[in-house]
Structure 1
C-alpha cells in the first residue's frame, strides 16, 4: 500500500502530469544523401539514408524535416506518409551548399512527389525531371497533392522548385500537370517555381480559402500555364507565362482516344473558373500558341462560374488573344491592363465573349494596341458543327460585356473589327464562321461600348458607342513594350493628350491605383491606364 501511495504522488506532482502524448512528440530532421545507407537512422548527415524508397517507408510527424543533400540525384518517386499541422508543417527541402537536389522519375508514370489525403506539407527547393519521351495513356506529373475521394486537404506549400522536361500526355484521360493541388479547403501557396518544357498543364489548383499562386515562371508548355478553380478571394500575381498552349489542339496529335471529343483541346495561359472575388494582377503573358483544334489561346480567362473577380495591372503581348469571358460569369472586371499585338493567329480573338450583357462583366481603362493584322472583338453565339450542333444559340442583341474608358489603338497595318462567331465550341477556331456587322444590334444604346477612345481603322465601322472619342490619345511611345512591366512607360499619356478628365465614372470599392501605381481615387478621371495625380 505504501508503494502504491508513493507512485501516485510521483504521478500527481510530476511536471509532465496532464500533458498529452501528442505534445511530447519529438520533431526529427531526416537526411538523405547519395553516399548514405538505408540501415542508418537518418538523423544526421553522418548517418543519412540513401534512397527514396527508405523515405517512403517512414511515417512523418508534425514538424519533421526531410532534407536531401544538395547536388545529389535520386531516381524514383517520392511518396512520404503522414501529415503536419497548421503550426508544424512537414518540410521537404535540402541541406548543404550546392544546386537543388534532383528527383528524376525517368520513364515512370505518376508524379515525382505524391501526397494523397495529407495536409500541412511544404516542398521547397527541389529539381524534378524525367527527360523520357511521352507515352500514350501514361500520366507524368511533377508534384501531386490531392484529397482522397470525399475528403479534403489543407496547408500545401510548393516554392522555389524547378520542374523541367516532364513530357506527360497532352490530352485524354492521362492528361499531365506539373503542380497539381486538388481538394484543398484552405492555405495553398505556390510560389517562385520555374516550370519549363513540360506537358500539359503547368500549375492547377482546386482550392477554396487562401489560395495564392505567386511569382512563378512557366515556359514552353503544351497546354495551360496556370489554372485556379473554386477559390474564394484567391490571388494570382507576379507570374510570367511564355510560350504556353503550344501543343493542345494539334489535329495530328495522338491522345490515345478514339473520339477526339474525349479530351479537352482548349487551353489558355492564366485562367480561373468557379471563383469568387479572386484577383489576377501584375502577371505577364507572352507568345501563347494555338493549334487548329484549340478554340482559346488567350492570355487570360474568366471562365464558368466566376463572380466579382478582377483582372488588373497585367501585360499581354503577342498572344492568340487577350481575354475570354465565358457565360455564367457575373460582375467580373478587367481594368488597367495593357494588350500589345495579341493577334498571333487567325482568326484573332482579342476579347471573346460568350457572356450576356445582363451578367454585368466590365472592361474599363485598358489599352489595346495593334500594329499589324485584324484584331477581333468576338461575340460567340452558338454551335453550327460538332456534337453541340443546333444547341444553345444565343440572342445576339444580349451578348457581350461592357467596355468603358478604354483606348483602342490601331496603327501601321493594324485594324480592329467586331464580329459574331458561330461554330463548334468543342472543335476548332478555324471552323468557326465569322459574321461582320457594321453595328452590333444594340439591346440598349451604349450597353456594350460607352466612352471609349478609338484611334485607327475599324474594318466594319466603329462599335455602337454613343460617347465615342475619335482622336490620337497622344501616348508617350505606343507599341514600345518589351519584356517586363517596367518596359511599358510608353503607354502613359503625354501632356497634350485628349484623354485627361474624359473618363466616365466607374464606381470602385475604395481607392485603387492605375497601371503605374498612381492613385485613382474612387473613380478614374482619365481614359486609358494612366492617371495623372498632379491634375
Structure 2
C-alpha cells in the first residue's frame, strides 16, 4: 500500500512520488503506474492540473484505491478539455476532497465500474458541449456520491444510466443549465437512494426539472429540498418507488408543471408518496399519461402530505389508475383534487380523510413542536443533537417595510440552546449580519431573527413569482453539535409589479 504525492508547483515527474518532498508533477505520471489495492494518490492543495486523470486499475472492497488531497491551502483543482476524472472497468475507488472545474465533458465519468465512492468534491462549469452530466455513471454497480457540490454546469448535474445500487446523499446541485438539463437524470437504474440533497434549479436556464427518474426500480427519494424547474420529481414509469418527507417548491413555467408526476412514459406500480411539503407551484401530484397509451398505473398511494399555494390541484388523475389520496393537509384556496369523472365513477382511486386548514405554516409549526416533544420524551438517553428544518418566507404584498421571521423557531436542540452561526457564506457576529440577495436585503442575528426588505427595482417586469435561497448553519451554543438548512424567499409578483 503506497501513497503517491503529486504537486503541480514543486513536483517533478523524475521523482519517485512516495513522499511530499519528492512528489510527482503531473497526473499523467500517475497514470503510467500500475496502482495496486490500498494505494492512495494525494494531490497537493494549491495545485492546478490541466489534464484529464484516467483511473485504470482497481482496488478491492477492503483496500480501495483512494484519490484525495494533502497539505494546506486551497483545494487542488483539475481542469481539462475532456473529462476531469475518467474511468472504464475500474472497481473499488474512492475520490474525495478535490475540485473539478472548467471541463469540456463530465467532471467525473465512470463506465462499467463497481463500488465507487465520491465525497466532498466540488464540481463547477463542466460539460461545455452539454453532452454529459457533471457526474456521469453508466452500466455500473454500487455508486455513492455524498457531501459534494455541483454548480453552474451545462448538461445534467447527475447523469446515471443502468446502475444497480445508487446513493446520492447530502449533495448540493445549483443551476444545471442547458436545453435538456435536470439536476438529476437517472435512467433504467435500481436500488436507488436519493436523500438529504439540496437541488435548486430556480436560476437554471434549463426548461426541464429537478429529478427525472426514468424506469426506476426500488427507489427511495427522501428528506430532500427541491426548488425550481419545470417539475420537482418526474418518476413517470417505474415500480416500488417511495417519495417521502421532501420539500418541493417553485415548480412552474408550464400548464403541466408538477411537484411529483408519474404514469406518462410507461407502467407505474407501487408508489408511496407521503410526508412531503408541496407548495408554490402548479400541480401537486399528477397521475397522467398520453391519450391512447395503454400504460397501467396501479397501487399509487398519496398520503400525509401538505399542499399549499398551488395554482392547480393538489392531486390530478386524468388517466385510468388505482390508488388512494388520504390524510393530506391542504391549505384553503388550493384545490384538493382534479379527477376525471370516469375514474371517479370506477371507484379505483379513493379520496378520504383529507382536511383543509387556513394556514399551513401554523399547522406545520405545531406538528414540529409535537414531534420534538415526543422525541424528547422517548429518547431521553440519546446524545444531544441539533436538527435544522427548512424555512420559507412568502411575500404576497409589500409596503416597503421589512418582512420578519425567525429561522430557529422550527429547529430543535436536545440542550434547548440554538445559535445561528453562519448565514450564506459568512459568520454571524454579535451584531448580526446583513446580506444583499437577488431581490432584496436581509439582516439576521444570532438568535435567528431575520428581516428581509424587498427591492422592487430588482424584480422582473412580469407577473408570476420568483424566489431566492440563503443557506444557514446553527449549533447548540458550544459547537459540539450543529446542523444547517435553507431559508427560501418566495415573492409573488402579482400586484407587486406593473
Asked if Structure 1 and Structure 2 have the same fold, meaning a TM-score greater than 0.5 normalized by the shorter chain, the answer is yes
Tell me how far apart the structure 2 counterparts of residues 368 and 445 of structure 1 sit (CA, whole Å). 26
Tell me how far apart the structure 1 counterparts of residues 199 and 116 of structure 2 sit (CA, whole Å). 22
**CA deviation string 1:273-301 (max 9, x = no partner):** 3333221110111122xxxxxxxx22112
Compared with structure 1, are the counterparts of its residues 245 and 402 closer, same or farther at alpha carbon in structure 2 (3 Å cutoff)? farther
Tell me how far apart the structure 2 counterparts of residues 403 and 245 of structure 1 sit (CA, whole Å). 33
Q: Residue 184 of structure 2: which of 221, 226, 240 is its match?
A: 226
Matches for 1:76-225 after TM superposition, within 5 Å: 76-105=51-80, 108=81, 110-130=82-102, 140-147=105-112, 153-170=113-130, 175-185=131-141, 187-206=142-161, 208-222=163-177, 223-225=181-183
For the residue of structure 2 that corresponds to 1:183, the secondary structure is strand
For the residue of structure 2 that corresponds to 1:219, the secondary structure is strand
Query: 1:260 aligns to what?
Result: none
TM-score (norm 2): 0.66
Shift of 1:113: 0.6
Alignment of 1:405 with 2:327, yes or no, is yes
Shift of 1:234: 2.4
Tell me how far apart the structure 2 counterparts of residues 246 and 401 of structure 1 sit (CA, whole Å). 34
Shift of 1:62: 0.9
Query: 1:35 aligns to what?
Result: 10
**Is the 1:364–1:403 Cα contact (8 Å) retained in structure 2?**
yes
Structure 2 residues not aligned, in runs of 5+: 253-257, 290-294, 367-387, 393-407, 411-498
For the residue of structure 2 that corresponds to 1:38, the secondary structure is coil
Q: How many residues get paired? A: 359
Structure 1 residues not aligned, in runs of 5+: 1-26, 132-138, 148-152, 250-266, 289-296, 344-348, 381-395, 420-438, 456-471, 492-535
Tell me how far apart the structure 1 counterparts of residues 172 and 343 of structure 2 sit (CA, whole Å). 42
Alignment of 1:319 with 2:251, yes or no, is yes
Compared with structure 1, are the counterparts of its residues 163 and 276 closer, same or farther at alpha carbon in structure 2 (3 Å cutoff)? same
Alignment of 1:351 with 2:285, yes or no, is yes
For the residue of structure 1 that corresponds to 2:134, the secondary structure is strand
For the pair shown, the structure with the greater C-alpha radius of gyration is 1
Shift of 1:60: 1.2
Shift of 1:443: 5.6
Compared with structure 1, are the counterparts of its residues 399 and 164 closer, same or farther at alpha carbon in structure 2 (3 Å cutoff)? same
Q: Residue 338 of structure 2: which of 418, 429, 447 is its match?
A: 418
Compared with structure 1, are the counterparts of its residues 316 and 448 closer, same or farther at alpha carbon in structure 2 (3 Å cutoff)? same
Shift of 1:202: 0.8
Which consecutive aligned stretches of 4+ in structure 1 deviate over 4 angstroms post-superposition?
355-358, 375-380, 414-417, 443-446, 473-476, 478-481, 488-491
Shift of 1:118: 1.1
**Is the 2:298–2:321 Cα contact (8 Å) retained in structure 1?**
no
Query: 2:362 aligns to what?
Result: 477
Compared with structure 1, are the counterparts of its residues 445 and 453 closer, same or farther at alpha carbon in structure 2 (3 Å cutoff)? farther
Compared with structure 1, are the counterparts of its residues 83 and 273 closer, same or farther at alpha carbon in structure 2 (3 Å cutoff)? same
Shift of 1:236: 1.0
Shift of 1:365: 1.2
The structure with the largest strand share of the pair is 2
**Is the 2:132–2:159 Cα contact (8 Å) retained in structure 1?**
no
Compared with structure 1, are the counterparts of its residues 401 and 322 closer, same or farther at alpha carbon in structure 2 (3 Å cutoff)? farther
**CA deviation string 1:145-175 (max 9, x = no partner):** 112xxxxx211111100001225334xxxx2
Tell me how far apart the structure 2 counterparts of residues 182 and 285 of structure 1 sit (CA, whole Å). 24
Tell me how far apart the structure 2 counterparts of residues 214 and 473 of structure 1 sit (CA, whole Å). 35
Alignment of 1:277 with 2:218, yes or no, is yes
TM-score (norm 1): 0.61
What RMSD over aligned residues (CA atoms) do the two structures have, in Å? Answer: 3.0
Tell me how far apart the structure 2 counterparts of residues 309 and 486 of structure 1 sit (CA, whole Å). 24
